[in-house]
Structure 1
Amino acid sequence: MKKLLSYLALIAGAVGVVACLVALVTTWSMAGRAQRVTQRLYAAMDDSLAGVQDRVEQVEQRVAAMNITAGEITTGLKDRTAEGIRDRLATELQLEQRTAGLAAGVDQADEWAAAIESSVESVRTMAELLAATGLDVDPTGIDGVLEEIVTVRSQLAEAGEQVAALRQRVASDEEDHDGQIAKILARVVATLTSLDERMGDFGDRLSAAQQSIATAEGVSQRWITTLSILATLLLIWVAAGQGALARVGWKNVRSGS
């Protein structure tokens, strides 16, 4: 009976050691895969936000150009009071061209803003996926960026409506033509100025989100490595116990023989 128990101890210990070695290899293999997956997700998020940053700069440049155009229209309106009929016709044509340029600028800016919103939503989904795995990712920073771009698009829609009203007024020949144009133009300028400030705030939030993601990536990689080391130490400890059991069984087998 003692010899049987010795054989069982030897076999159980040997199997335990092998199982620990297999678990050790599996642990580091899974850790390597987890690191590669998280790196790819973080890289995808970083690339998306870098693309968003480029789009933001384009929108900012477009808004700045629209502000310049609005200023030229304002100046043109002031100059019209001292012009003759022929000059007024030329100025009228310039007004139509510039208001058409404003409308095209708003449409282009909104198209870029829509692309920004789509990219940020994709980053938000990836951040939620990482957070669901228990990694230290805070999607609320992305939420702030998403809220900002929604507000920007709302202001662009408002600017689009105002520019449409401006173009309609420019094309009309109603009484107090210039006065009505000036009032609408003042609202357009106010909206564009507010939009310019909003884009600055959006850029700040975007930079903060990018920094937060970079920090989260470093923390996530450290957590994966730390957990892998802890699992390794635990498996070594268990393997040592199993090895001791196998050694005792082997000694008893040899002494019994």
Structure 2
Amino acid sequence: MSWHLGRMCGFDIESSGLNVETDRIVTACVVGCGGGDPVTPRTWFADPGIDIPAEATAVHGITTEKARAEGRPAADVVEEIVHALAEAVINGLPVIVMNAPYDLTLLDREARRHGVTPLTDIVGDELRVIDPRVMDKAVDPYRKGRRTLTDLCAYYRLRLDAAHTADADALAACRVAQALAEKWPQLRGTALDQLHAVQQQWAQQQATSFAAYLARTPGREHEAASVRADWPFVPHQRRSA
């Protein structure tokens, strides 16, 4: 049976910003879906311990005041997210994450910040990730237009209510992954272990291509050096004393 017909685990974070090294989790969702069983979402709302910039609030709608009043301690939230994902991985489920290096790296740094054992330290090499963004670019590279989750839902004719809420986005990422596999035989015909490995290659190729584009674009040449090819997350770099 193809991986897209079985049970899978969607994951999404809404955060305080775009810097995975310094920004914080505000909301998150881990959702089980597929395989003929009901959708089972788990959601979290954290007090990130820092101010939430207006730019982030404009995306997900959560203010600093609301997070402080209603959010749970960040360390507890991070630990529960890590354990929920670890349980899914141990049970053999693929983790579906749109733009995986963002969410998985941010989770890794949050875990280290709060003294929580990081996901990869728990599951080791068992982690198998499906990234709709990487797969869509790989199988349909010449299609024009953006490739955000909203755009992919529109292209594959999938409903997305309440975009930029963690629960809606986590489930939508699963639906896009399923739609990709239905449309492209090379995706549904590839075993999960191999598909994880080939996405690493695709992600590196895509990053190299994007860096080259930046390098030849007037006014953006300086951005090329910051493009990372790591997938599905950016490894933690230990700082020397």
More strand by share: 2
The structure with the largest alpha-carbon Rg is 1
TM-score normalised per structure 1: 0.26
TM-score normalised per structure 2: 0.28
More helix by share: 1
